[in-house]
A and B are shown apart, each in its own frame.
Chain A
Amino acid sequence: MNRKPFQRRVYWNEPELGWWESFYLFEIIRGLSITGGVFLRNMGRWVTGRKGALTTYYPEQTRADYAEHNRGKHILTQRPDGSPQCIACNMCATVCPAKCIEIEAGFDPQDPAHPKYASRFEIDYSRCVFCGFCVEACPEDAIRMVKVVPDLPGGDRDDMWFKRDDLLSWMPQADVAKPYPPKAGGRDGGTP
Chain B
Amino acid sequence: MMQDLVIRGIYIVFAVLMLMTFGLILTWVERKQAAVMSDRIGANRAYLRIPFTQIKLIWWGLFHGLADGMKMLLKEDFKPVTYDRVAYALGPWVVFAPVLLVFAVIPFGGTLVPSVLFSGSPGIVEWFGDRSYPMQIADLNAGLLVVFAFGGVTVIGSMLAGWSSNNKFSMLGAIRSASQMVSYEVVMGLTVVGLILIYGTVDLGEMVRQQSGVLLGFLPAWGIFYQPFGAVLFMTAAQAENRRIPFDLPEAESELISGYFTEYSAMKMGLFMFAEFIEIAIIAALFTTLFLGGYNLPYMSDAGFTLPGGHFIAMSHGAVVVTQLLVFLVKVFLLCSFQILVRWSLPRFRYDQLLRFAWKFMLPWALANLVVTVVAVWAIRGAGA
Assembly CA distance A153 to B35 (angstroms): 23
Cβ B341 vs Cβ A38 within 8 A: no
Please measure, in the bound complex, the distance between the C-alpha atom of A55 and the C-alpha atom of B43, giving whole angstroms: 12
In the assembly, what is the distance between CA of A38 and CA of B345, in Å?
11
The answer to whether the Cβ of B322 comes within 8 Å of any Cβ in the partner chain is: no
A38 to B344, CA, bound (A): 12
Cβ of A39 and Cβ of B36 under 8 Å apart?
yes
> Quick check: B39 and A38 within 8 Å, CB to CB?
yes
Least distance between B150 CB and chain A CB atoms (Å): 29
Per-residue CB contact flags for chain A residues 42-57 toward chain B (1 = under 8 Å, else 0) read 1100100000111100
Contacts of B33 in A (CB 8 A): 39
B346 within 8 A of A: yes
Flag if A35 contacts B341 (CB, 8 Å): yes
**Interchain CB contact (< 8 A) of B345 among A32, A43, A54:** A32
Residues from chain B with a CB closer than 8 A to the CB of A32 are 341-342, 345-346
* Chain B residues with CB below 8 A from A38, complex form: 37-39
Does any Cβ of B come within 8 Å of A146's Cβ?
no
| Closest chain B residue, CB of each to CB of A45 | B36
CB distance from B345 to the nearest CB of A (A): 4
- The chain B residue sitting closest to A34, CB to CB, is B345
On chain B, the residues within 8 Å of A25 by CB distance are: 232
Among candidates B39, B342, B361, residue contacting A54 with C-beta atoms closer than 8 Å? B39
Q: How far is the CB of A56 from chain B (nearest CB, A)?
A: 10
Cβ contact within 8 Å between A52 and B341: no
A42 to B34, CA, bound (A): 11
Q: Which residues of A contact B37 (CB under 8 A)?
A: 35-36, 38-39, 42
> Which applies to chain A's interface (DSSP): helix, strand, loop or mixed?
helix
> How far, in Å, is B233 (CB) from chain A's closest CB?
10
B35, B344, B346: the one contacting A53 at CB < 8 Å is: B35
Q: Does B311 interact with chain A (Cβ within 8 Å)?
A: no
Which B26-41 residues sit within 8 Å CB-CB of chain A?
33, 35-41
Q: Name the residue of chain B whose CB is nearest to the CB of A54.
A: B39
The residue on A at minimum CB distance from B344 is A35
Q: What distance in Å separates the Cβ of A41 from its nearest Cβ neighbour in chain B?
A: 9
Distance (whole angstroms) from the CB of B130 to the closest CB of chain A = 47
CB atoms of B36 and A53 under 8 A apart:
yes
Q: A139 at interface (Cβ–Cβ under 8 A)?
A: no
Distance in Å: Cβ of B325 to nearest Cβ of chain A: 25
Asked if B346 and A28 sit within 8 Å, CB to CB, the answer is yes
Q: Determine the chain B residues whose CB is within 8 A of the CB of A43 once the complex forms.
A: 36
Complex Cα distance, B39 from A50, in Å, reads 13
Within the complex, which residue of B35, B232, B345, B361 is in contact with A31, where a contact is CB–CB below 8 Å?
Answer: B345
Question: Chain A residues near B41 (CB, 8 Å)?
Answer: 53, 55
Complex-state Cα separation, A165 to B232, whole angstroms: 67
Distance in angstroms from B40 CB to nearest chain A CB is 5
CA distance A30 to B37 in the complex (A): 15
Within 8 A of B (CB), among A66-125: none
Contacts of A42 in B (CB 8 A): 36-37, 39
Report Cα–Cα, A43/B21, bound state, in Å.
23
7 further A-B pairs in the complex, CB-CB below 8 A; given A42-B36, A55-B41: A25-B232, A31-B346, A35-B37, A36-B37, A36-B341, A38-B37, A39-B37
Between-chain CB contacts (< 8 Å), 30 pairs: A24-B361, A25-B232, A28-B346, A32-B341, A32-B345, A34-B345, A35-B37, A35-B341, A35-B344, A36-B341, A36-B345, A38-B37, A38-B38, A38-B39, A39-B36, A39-B37, A42-B37, A42-B39, A43-B36, A46-B36, A52-B36, A52-B39, A53-B35, A53-B36, A53-B40, A54-B39, A54-B40, A55-B39, A55-B40, A55-B41
